[in-house]
Amino acid sequence: MTALLVVLLLPVAGGCGSPSDPPTLESFEIWDGAPGSVSSRRVDPETDGSIALRLDRLYTGRALIRTSARVDWCIYRVFSYTWSQPSRSFNCTPETGERMVVDETLSTARSDVSQVADHRITISVAEYDVGSRSELSRYTSRVLTVVFTE
């Protein structure tokens, strides 16, 4: 019975170290279109660290995250941007393993972009308890200044 208990605990204890360790962002990319599609292309930062996006397009933010691998926890919206419309939806991706990929759509609709003067994308990792929807941990990894082109 003891050996069986150890086997069941190993997946939960992996990932970030212990279940109380916060998740970490290993890498991120922004794609014009859907990653892997024929017409998509990765958007690389400019030399000054900003990122150039075109108006009226749909982009995909892709993040590789190391988690605690707890099925009752989830990773909340990784990419937030200053021109996005307010939303009350609980956009939380369940932790499916120690490493997971999260893809999120970023819209550059002209009508939304024109509503704000400061254009930034914030990439942060927040871990939530699925049942209570309470935040367990959060850290901001990167803030990108966005320059729009036609």
Rounded Cα distance, 75 and 65, in Å: 9
Domain membership flag for residue 35: yes
CATH number at residue 80: 2.60.40
Domain membership flag for residue 11: no
**Are the C-beta atoms of 35 and 102 separated by less than 8 Å?**
no
Q: What pLDDT is attached to residue 20?
A: 58
Would the pTM count as exceeding 0.85?
no
Rounded Cα distance, 16 and 138, in Å: 14
Rounded Cα distance, 97 and 112, in Å: 35
Q: What pLDDT is attached to residue 43?
A: 96
Per-residue pLDDT tens digits for 96-105? 889 999 999 9
Q: What pLDDT is attached to residue 15?
A: 38
Per-residue pLDDT tens digits for 25-41? 999 999 999 888 888 99
Domain membership flag for residue 144: yes
**Total domain count, the chain:** 1
Are β-strands 92-94 and 51-54 bridged in parallel, bridged antiparallel, or unpaired?
unpaired
- Give burial (CB, 10 Å; 0-12/13-18/19+) of 103: middle
